[in-house]
């Protein structure tokens, strides 16, 4: 009975994390495209949109903390290692990418979206490798 309760609770926490993630992504899209398509560059609406986005980001962080607290020790270890790798990719990869832009070694401006993609992919890959390694 206790295992079923734990599974049910885990499913609820994971679903909650997914909902907060989806809501945050929607607010990013809203603020990105709103000034052009919805409120024609009105800065007040854009500021409000950014503030709403930050509120949803706080909700997402809190949901992620609840998710991490629900994990067992092995899963926490896998997450910790994956987050360390993702942080390293973000900091060192991001700085290197910025240096390439500043020194004009790349022909385009460094875009944050590429860094977000690199961080996300490194995190997902590290999770997959960690799960495989500890099987």
Q: Which backbone phi and psi does 112 adopt, to 5 degrees?
A: -60, -30
Expressed as residue numbers, the domain containing 33 is 1-70
Judged by phi (left if over 0) then psi (alpha if -120 to 50, else beta), residue 72 lies in: beta
Residue-level pLDDT at 1: 58
Query: CA 53, CA 83: separation in Å to the nearest integer?
Result: 23
Tell whether 84 and 61 lie within a shared domain.
Answer: no
Tell whether 47 and 101 lie within a shared domain.
Answer: no
In order along its 135 residues, the chain shows pLDDT tens digits of: 577 888 889 899 999 999 999 999 999 999 999 999 999 989 999 999 999 999 999 999 999 999 999 999 999 999 999 999 999 999 999 999 999 999 999 999 999 999 999 999 999 999 999 999 988
Query: CA 119, CA 87: separation in Å to the nearest integer?
Result: 7
Tell whether 133 and 82 lie within a shared domain.
Answer: yes
Q: How many domains does the chain have?
A: 2
Query: CA 76, CA 64: separation in Å to the nearest integer?
Result: 12
What number of other Cβ atoms are within 10 A of residue 124's Cβ? 12
Tokens of 13: 């926490």
Last-in-domain residue among 70, 89, 106: 70
Tell whether 54 and 95 lie within a shared domain.
Answer: no
């Amino acid at each position: 009975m206790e295992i079923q309760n734990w599974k049910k609770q885990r499913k609820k926490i994971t679903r909650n994390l997914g909902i907060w993630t989806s809501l945050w992504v929607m607010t990013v899209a809203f603020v990105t495209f709103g000034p052009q398509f919805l409120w024609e560059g009105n800065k007040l609406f854009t500021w409000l949109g950014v503030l709403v986005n930050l509120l949803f980001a706080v909700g997402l962080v809190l949901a992620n903390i609840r998710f991490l607290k629900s994990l067992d020790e092995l899963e926490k270890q896998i997450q910790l290692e994956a987050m360390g790798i993702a942080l390293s990719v973000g900091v060192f990869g991001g700085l290197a990418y910025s240096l390439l832009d500043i020194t004009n070694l790349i022909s385009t401006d460094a875009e944050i979206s590429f860094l977000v993609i690199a961080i996300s992919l490194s995190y997902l890959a590290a999770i997959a490798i960690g799960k495989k390694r500890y099987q």
